[in-house]
Structure 1
Amino acid sequence: MTVVPASEASWDDLRTVFGERGDAARCQCQWFKILGRDWASAPVEVRADRLREQTGCDDPGADRTSGLVAYLGGEPVGWCAVEPRSEYPRLRQARIPWAGRDEDRSDPGVWAVTCFVTRVGFRRRGVSRALARAAVDFARDRGARAVEGYPMIVEPGRDISWGELFVGSRSVFADAGFTEVTRPTPRRAVMRIDFAS
């Protein structure tokens, strides 16, 4: 498995990962980017245009991108959104990340891993784990002081719909070296890595 910044991937490859149906195809990784009424009024085509602009796909020289694309045997198989936490307006207003914590919500030095998409037919092959590990290096290499995520707690024998797992599972983050800092609800954790200065 290889993971590259989305700017080094083609837009067609990212489209293949997101697919034509389901939550990822409808959302276009814009849930944390678009607030309130604007979310409901933004058609899928507009969301896709926003994602294309944010990722800089097909532009390896782009000075920024909003995520990573995973390949398995040359096939595009996964996506992970990772960028400064301040780039996610909805995240700044959400309850989960901030319960029990008092810190600057607009601090660009703290990055967030907000979303995973694994292409249909490639699930349960370690795609999310590879993306989470790569997200740590990606954030650190671009000057992040810390990176965090807000995963689901997956309990053996209890089903969680695929749609809910777009934030990742606790075990995916733990395997990438994240440590739990809070558990704001029985089903959600805040996981974080602070980088040495």
Structure 2
Amino acid sequence: MNIRIVTADRVPWEDLDAVFGPGNPHGSNWASNNCRCQRFKVPGWMWRDSTLAERLAAQRAQARGGSGLVAYVDDEPAGWVAVEPRVAYPKLLTTRAPWTGRNEDRHDPDVWAVTCFVVRKGYRGRGLTYRLAEAAAEHARACGAKAVEGYSMLTRPGKVITWGELHVGAKQVFEEAGFREVHQPSARRVVMRKDF
């Protein structure tokens, strides 16, 4: 499997759009196709206070700015990771969970965040999320970040995770990419961080 990962500003919009794929309310791409990795960016609650057209426009702008990476498998668009300065995610800065018990300047522009992974149907189960996490950390470092964080899901053997919830990435994905746990705000969420 030949994998290459590039910044979103270097790929045609059609390739990024293919990763998110057509969605339907019962399909595995429904949540990603509708959210478009704007969960921590849109004001209010994404479905009520913004339209799909607005979220698509926001993702296009995000991609044009190079704030995200697209993975290709054998020259086919197969995955995406959202990564950019943490301050670009206004809802993340005000969400209680990542900050409870932490004493840190959440508005520090030199700390980046990995907020979303999407792997296209047909390419799952091949370890692509692990490669995207590694690339996201390297991209943040290359862009001058002093650290990068992820807000991962803690998975447990035998426990079912509702589809769509794992878009933030599993703890082990970040561990394999060299992140360390800095905070566990709830039984299921773990803040992972890599300092440069």
> Residue 18 of structure 1 aligns with which residue?
20
> Residue 60 of structure 2 aligns with which residue?
52
Whether contact under 8 Å (1:96, 1:150) holds in the other structure is no
- Aligned pair count reads 188
Residues 89-108 of structure 1: CA deviation (Å, up to 9, x unaligned)? 00001122112111111110
Which runs of 5 or more structure 1 residues have no equivalent in the other structure?
57-63
Whether contact under 8 Å (2:35, 2:46) holds in the other structure is no
Question: Residues 102-121 of structure 1 correspond to what in structure 2 (within 5 A)?
Answer: 102-121=103-122
Residue identity in the other structure for 2:101 = G
Q: Aligned residues: percent identity?
A: 52
CA–CA distance in structure 2, aligned partners of residues 119 and 187 of structure 1: 25
C-alpha spacing 1:2/1:38, structure 2 compared with 1 (3 Å)? closer
> Residue 129 of structure 1 aligns with which residue?
130
> Residue 182 of structure 2 aligns with which residue?
181
Q: Pick one of 33, 39, 48 that aligns with 1:31.
A: 39
CA–CA distance in structure 1, aligned partners of residues 6 and 75 of structure 2: 12
Which runs of 5 or more structure 2 residues have no equivalent in the other structure?
24-29
Structure 1 segments, 4+ long, off by >4 Å, are: none
Whether contact under 8 Å (2:152, 2:189) holds in the other structure is yes
What TM-score results when the alignment is normalised by the length of structure 2?
0.93
Which one is further off, 43-52 or 164-173? Answer: 43-52
| SS of aligned partner of 2:5 | strand
What TM-score results when the alignment is normalised by the length of structure 1?
0.92
**What value does the CA root-mean-square deviation take over the aligned residues?**
1.1
Q: Does 1:80 align with 2:81?
A: yes
Question: Residues 115-194 of structure 1 correspond to what in structure 2 (within 5 A)?
Answer: 115-194=116-195
> Residue 9 of structure 1 aligns with which residue?
11
Whether contact under 8 Å (1:28, 1:51) holds in the other structure is yes
